[in-house]
A and B are shown apart, each in its own frame.
Chain A
Amino acid sequence: MCLGIPGRIVAVTDEHRMMALAEVSGVRREVNVACILDGAIEDLLGEWALIHVGFAMARIDPDEAAKTLQALQDLGEAQEAAEAMAEGAKALEGQG
Chain B
Amino acid sequence: MKYATEFRDPKAAKAVLARIAELADEIGATRAKPVHIMEICGGHTHAIFRYGLDKLVHDGIEFIHGPGCPVCVLPMSRVDECVEIALRPGVIFTTFGDAMRVPGTKMSLMQAKAAGADIRMVYSPLDALELARRNPDRQVVFFGLGFETTTPSTALSIQQAAREGLENFSVFCNHITVPEPIRALLDDPHMVLDGFVGPGHVSMVIGTHPYDFIARDYGKPIVVAGFEPLDLLQSVLMVLIQIRDGRAEVENQYARVVPEHGNPVSLAAIADVYEKRPSFEWRGLGEIDHSGLRIRAKYRAYDAEETFGIGYAAGPRFVAEPEGCACGQVMTGRIKPTACTQFGSGCTPEMPLGALMVSSEGACAAYWQYGGARATEATE
Determine whether the beta carbon of A2 is less than 8 Å from that of B263. Answer: no
CB of B355, distance to nearest CB on chain A (Å): 12
CB of B242, distance to nearest CB on chain A (Å): 16
Contacts of A6 on B, CB cut-off 8 Å? Answer: 1-4
Per the bound structure, the CA–CA distance linking A55 and B7 in Å amounts to 23
Contacts of A32 on B, CB cut-off 8 Å? Answer: 126, 153, 156
Nearest neighbor of B98 in chain A, beta-carbon distance: A1
> Could you tell me how many residues of chain A have their Cβ less than 8 Å away from some Cβ of chain B?
38
Per the bound structure, the CA–CA distance linking A62 and B6 in Å amounts to 12
CB of B235, distance to nearest CB on chain A (Å): 11
A13 CB within 8 Å of chain B: no
Determine whether the beta carbon of A54 is less than 8 Å from that of B153. Answer: yes
Determine whether the beta carbon of A54 is less than 8 Å from that of B14. Answer: no
Determine whether the beta carbon of A2 is less than 8 Å from that of B255. Answer: no
B15 CB within 8 Å of chain A: yes
Per the bound structure, the CA–CA distance linking A72 and B13 in Å amounts to 8
Q: A72-B16, A75-B12 are in contact. Are A58 and B263 (CB under 8 A)?
A: yes
Per the bound structure, the CA–CA distance linking A8 and B6 in Å amounts to 17
Partner of B160, one of A17, A25, A57: A17
Determine whether the beta carbon of A54 is less than 8 Å from that of B124. Answer: yes
Partner of A54, one of B41, B127, B230, B360: B127
Per the bound structure, the CA–CA distance linking A34 and B155 in Å amounts to 12
Q: Which of B147-168 contact A (CB under 8 A)?
A: 147, 149-150, 152-153, 156, 160
Per the bound structure, the CA–CA distance linking A3 and B227 in Å amounts to 9
Partner of B43, one of A3, A8, A64, A78: A3
Determine whether the beta carbon of A72 is less than 8 Å from that of B153. Answer: no
Determine whether the beta carbon of B19 is less than 8 Å from that of A79. Answer: yes
Contacts of A80 on B, CB cut-off 8 Å? Answer: 15
Contacts of B41 on A, CB cut-off 8 Å? Answer: 2
Query: Which of B196-204, B329-337, B366-374 participates in binding chain A?
Result: B196-204
Q: A50-B204, A57-B149 are in contact. Are A2 and B156 (CB under 8 A)?
A: no
Determine whether the beta carbon of A2 is less than 8 Å from that of B202. Answer: yes
Contacts of B230 on A, CB cut-off 8 Å? Answer: 72
Query: Which of B51-59, B65-73, B280-288, B338-346 participates in binding chain A?
Result: B65-73
- A residues sitting closer than 8 Å to B (CB atoms) are 1-6, 8, 17, 25, 32, 34-37, 48, 50, 52-55, 57-58, 60-62, 64-65, 67-69, 71-73, 75-76, 78-80
Contact sample, A vs B, 27 pairs, CB 8 Å cutoff: A1-B70, A1-B147, A1-B150, A1-B361, A2-B149, A2-B201, A4-B149, A32-B153, A32-B156, A34-B265, A35-B156, A53-B125, A54-B125, A54-B127, A55-B126, A57-B149, A58-B259, A60-B3, A61-B256, A64-B255, A67-B255, A68-B256, A69-B6, A72-B15, A72-B16, A79-B14, A80-B15
7 extra interface residue pairs, beta carbon distance < 8 Å, beyond A5-B1, A6-B1, A50-B201: A1-B42, A1-B147, A4-B149, A6-B3, A54-B124, A72-B16, A78-B15
